[in-house]
Amino acid sequence: MSVFDPVEASHAAPSDGRSWLERIPVAYWVVGLALLIMPAIAGDFMLFQIFGWTFILGLIALGLMFLGGYGGMVSLAQMSIAGVGGYMVAIFGVSAIDTISLGWPWYVAIPIALVIAMLFGTLTGWLAVRTEGIYTIMITLAIAAAFFYFARQNYVMFNGFSGFNGVLPPMLFGVDWRDPAAFYYLTLFWAALGYLVVLYISRAPFGLALQGVRDNPRRMSALGYNVTAHRVAAYTFAALLAAIGGILLTWQSAQISPGTAGIGPAIDILVIAVIGGMRHPVGPFIGAFIYVILKTYAIDALVTLGLAGERFQLLIGVAFLAIVFWSPDGIIGLWDRLREDRKRDPLTGRGGEGP
């Protein structure tokens, strides 16, 4: 898995005497503040479509970054797991298809959806880790395709081709969570939480061990680790991230159908993670932002340039290829290189490696 090397040295121990508040880099304060006051600046479309979608796709791709960056396993099934999450909320909760939907309250439906999605992710992982390395990508792609076709052909549970519409978030605290500003904060909250948790786990025993398994499974085994169990557990955790993303995605468009978790979207998640970079959890969000901006505005841009708007895929494909060719660590790889060129960052005291 040479694409993601070299690994940053992550430190397990608290390294200095400052309190955790003082140790937060300045950049976090700036970005955090900007994101919090965004609704005062940006319009509804920006909040709901651009940022909301970015956070959701970023969250789903974050699971892939966790698997790929820390675990060395590139899975194409993340979007299918997100799809399972979305479908289960529609099936157990409320939707316009009341012949199938059970209409259970959200506090029952959502946990069930998360658990089922995590089970699905665990099963996927269990199948995928039975073979090594690059087979993973093939097996998970096949599983993603299987889920897509199954959902499309099954009418009893998945309502076939048309899926479910009218899947809405609960009116918790009297707030309409599909209101652009509310939805913005909802997705921001889960994206930020996911980001911080992944960052935290990367330096906890589980995350450190996962990175050890990626670099040297034989040695990890000789240190007492059950390598297979660790890999499968990583899939389970990644599935949780994807499932949360999938439920948010379903609420955003108020519907879920097989196309949501098709092969195209499955590959898009990989594209997002690779464009952003898999070495640090911020990568997927950068990648998602670029993807959403391209997807939203590229058509207009292409038309003004005199090209047909449908050539969006071409643009994405070329951008993806360019990244894989020239910066295998994605945008954050480019960023690191830039910073290395300007010597060490005086604010955080870090060099080229990630935090």
Partner 1 sequence: MNAVLDAGSTISERLGATGTANALELKGVSKYFGALAALSDVDITVRPSERRAVLGSNGAGKTTLFNCVAGDFPSTTGTIRFFGEDITQFPPHERIRRGLRRTYQISLLFTGLTVLDNIFLACVGVSRSRFSFLQPGRDDALMASAENLVRVVHLEDARDEQVATLSYGQQRQLEIAMALAGAPRFILFDEPAAGLSPTERSELIEILVGLPTHMGFIIIEHDMDVALRVAESVTMMHNGRIFKEGSPAEIEDDPEVQALYLGGDDG
Partner 2 sequence: MTDFVRRHPIWAAVTAILAAILIWMIFALWPSWLVDLIGKKKVFLNALFNGITLGGLYFLVASGFTLIFGLMRNVNLAHGSLYLLGGYVGYEFAELTGYWLLAFPAAFIVVALFGILLQLGVFRRMEGQDLRQTLVTIGISIIMADLMLWGWGGDFYNISAPSWLSGPLETILVTSQKRSGDLVYLKYPLVRVVIFLAAVTIGVGMWLLLNRTKIGMLIRAGVDDRDMLSATGARIQLVFLGVFAFGAGLAGIAGVVGGTFQSVAPGEDIRFLLASLVVVIVGGMGSIPGAALGALLIGLAEQFGSVYMPTYAVVLTFLIMVGVLAFRPQGLMGRS
| Binding at 130: pick from partner 2, partner 1, none (beta carbon under 5-8 Å per type) | partner 2
Pick between residue 201 and residue 261 the one whose CB is nearest to partner 1: 201
Question: Does 129 sit near partner 1 (CB under 8 A)?
Answer: no
Q: Is 255 helix (H, G, I), strand (E, B) or coil?
A: strand
Pick between residue 29 and residue 149 the one whose CB is nearest to partner 2: 149
Query: Rounded to an integer, what distance in angstroms lies between the CA atom of residue 120 and that of residue 185?
Result: 28
Instruction: List CB contacts of 76: < 8 A, sequence separation 6 or more.
Output: 137, 140, 141, 144, 266, 267, 269, 270
Query: For residues 46 and 297, is the Cβ–Cβ distance under 8 A?
Result: no
Distance in Å from the first CA to the final CA of the chain:
21
- The residues binding partner 2 (CB under 8 A) are 1-3, 74, 127, 130-131, 133-135, 137-139, 141-143, 145-146, 149-150, 153-155, 263, 267, 270-271, 274, 308, 310-311, 313-314, 316-318, 320-321, 324-325, 328
Question: Quick one: which of 193, 223, 293, 318 contacts partner 1 (CB under 8 A)?
Answer: 223
Pick between residue 185 and residue 231 the one whose CB is nearest to partner 2: 231
Question: Does 21 sit near partner 1 (CB under 8 A)?
Answer: no
| Binding at 274: pick from partner 2, partner 1, none (beta carbon under 5-8 Å per type) | partner 2
Query: Rounded to an integer, what distance in angstroms lies between the CA atom of residue 275 and that of residue 283?
Result: 8
| Binding at 225: pick from partner 1, partner 2, none (beta carbon under 5-8 Å per type) | partner 1
The helix or strand, by DSSP H or E, that contains position 256, with its residue range, turns out to be strand 255-256
Q: Minimum distance between the CB of residue 168 and partner 2, rounded to whole angstroms?
A: 30
Residue ranges in the chain assigned as alpha helix (H): 26-36, 38-41, 44-45, 53-65, 78-92, 106-128, 135-153, 180-201, 205-215, 217-221, 227-253, 263-276, 282-304, 312-326, 330-341
DSSP category for residue 165: E
Q: Minimum distance between the CB of residue 311 and partner 2, rounded to whole angstroms?
A: 6
Question: Does 221 sit near partner 1 (CB under 8 A)?
Answer: yes
Task: Give the residues lining the site for partner 1 (CB under 8 A).
Answer: 6-15, 200-201, 203-206, 208-209, 211-212, 215-216, 218-227, 230, 233
